Amino acid sequence: MNLAVNGLRGDIRLANSYSENPFDGFGKFDFVMANPPFNVDDVPVATVENDPRFNTYGIPRNKTKLKQVDQGKETVPNANYLWISLFATSLKAKGRAALVMANSASDARHSEADMRQKLVDNNLIYAMLTLPSNMFYTVTLPATLWFFDKAKADNKILFIDARNIFTQIDRAHREFTEAQIQNIAIISKLHKGERAEFLSLIDGYFADGMARLAENQQQVEPVSAQLLAVLAEEQGKQAVQDLLAQWQGLAALEQAYQDYVERTEDMAGDDAALDTMNALQHELRATFDPFFVGLHAGLKKLDKIIRTHEKAKAEAAKAEGKRAGTDRDTKQLKAALEQLHKEVSSAESTFQHIHWLQERFPAARYEDVTGLCKLASPAEVQEQDYSLNPGRYVGVVIEEDGKTEEKFLADLIAMNDELISLNKAGISLNELIQGNLRILVGDNETL
């Protein structure tokens, strides 16, 4: 039997005051998945202190007993650990749980730290995973996922710091793509020795990547034709032809992929075969690197040519006394080139996931990765005063933003254009303010 608790919907929630226990009816479960309300205050201690569902690992206590409600009754300062205790004691002998908690719970001091020590000493915690901030639509509050497993094979805790893994939706919101979820989840599977799952994930990325490349190649020729129809410079036409020639290299990559499929389809699941398959995957991925390097070089060259083209058009218009601006042909050029960038980015994305995984787990086995994951012993957790914050264990690494050089340059140019526009608007606004002040004070000279 499984249990799901979603605090956002209010299926089960702690209240500041209530006449009956909201946890009545809880039994023992094989699996609990919960998103309870964060940081609920002022739960009367009397309602939970004699209940083994809450006192097995201790009761959260105020540092002093000055904060009291309900006619002098002592209250729990924060109910996060009531939820944690509830889910920990609601599992069967081999039960598992996954719950979302505020980041602050991982480092909470005083009585909560003592409760964490008991959870660690009882070998209940399997993993801790820190999420990026801004993953919720209503609050920016960062959160941590807690994973319990009463049947875990060792006494170590897997710490994963996923704060650098996200897709930005807008300035205020982030999310995980399906691939990012798979990449994070595979860390736990590798820890459990499920190497075949890791290789299968990369297999899937190769298949998806090849399908995208084939589809995108069909889009390249018509877009290139648009560029050729507008570009008058011979240098520009040659750059488009070079880019088309680079795409012709896809045939050799398709053959390399088919050879890989034939060599791996009958491999057994033993470690020797898995090692061979992993080596073949590394070899196959390496054959794609020059292809994408060539595509980016061609796009970078076209970017430069079109910027030169746009600048020449603007200077010609200025010389004729016309208003400087982007003409229709140049807009078509830029739109066509932007489409080419999208096609390459789409095709390359799945291969970037392969590279990300192989770079961190080159042997298709679990290993500690600085800035990402760490398997910590109870002694190491004790050294950190029983903090369960993954950031304390995995270390820090500077993550690449994933942008290609031409994407970086395009963004830089766009920001510069925006700055120029804002500066012009600022000058106009300043002139307007000065003019209005002159009118108000009736002085056209002093201001």
Q: Is the pLDDT of residue 18 over 60?
A: no
Where does the pLDDT of residue 17 fall: very low under 50, low under 70, confident under 90, or very high at 90 and above?
A: very low
pLDDT the model gives residue 324: 57
pLDDT the model gives residue 69: 45
pLDDT the model gives residue 44: 86
How confident is the model over 147-165, as a mean pLDDT?
A: 94
- 3-state SS class at 193: coil
Angle at 210 between CA 208 and CA 212, to 5 degrees: 70
**Percent of the chain whose pLDDT exceeds 90:** 39
Query: Within a 10 A sphere around the Cβ of 181, how many other Cβ atoms?
Result: 13
Q: Which residues contact 53 (CB under 8 A, 6 or more apart)?
A: 23, 26, 85, 86, 89, 90
**Percent of the chain whose pLDDT exceeds 70:** 85
- 3-state SS class at 310: helix
pLDDT the model gives residue 179: 94
The pTM for the full model equals 0.78
Nearest to 90 by CA among 43, 34, 45, 50: 34
Least confident of 61-75, 77-91, 298-312, 384-398: 61-75
Q: Is the pLDDT of residue 52 over 80?
A: yes
Angle at 352 between CA 351 and CA 356, to 5 degrees: 120
Six-digit token pair at 308?
């030169």
Q: Is the pLDDT of residue 401 over 50?
A: yes
Name the residue with higher pLDDT: 65 or 97.
Answer: 97
Q: Is the dihedral of CA 210, 336, 401, 304 positive or negative?
A: positive
With contact defined as beta carbons under 8 Å apart, do 75 and 68 qualify?
yes
Q: Which residues contact 192 (CB under 8 A, 6 or more apart)?
A: 153
pLDDT the model gives residue 400: 60
Dihedral-angle region of residue 26 (phi above 0 means left; psi in -120 to 50 means alpha; beta otherwise): beta
The structural domains of the chain, with segments of one domain joined by +, span 2-193, 217-365, 411-447
pLDDT, mean over the chain:
83
With contact defined as beta carbons under 8 Å apart, do 38 and 141 qualify?
yes
Where does the pLDDT of residue 1 fall: very low under 50, low under 70, confident under 90, or very high at 90 and above?
A: very low
Number of H helices, E strands in the chain: 12, 12
Q: What is the CATH number of domain 2-193?
A: 3.40.50.150
Predicted confidence (pLDDT) per residue in 203-242, tens digit:
999 999 999 898 888 878 887 777 777 776 777 788 888 8
How confident is the model over 289-302, as a mean pLDDT?
A: 87
Where does the pLDDT of residue 407 fall: very low under 50, low under 70, confident under 90, or very high at 90 and above?
A: low
Which amino acid, 194? E
pLDDT the model gives residue 27: 60
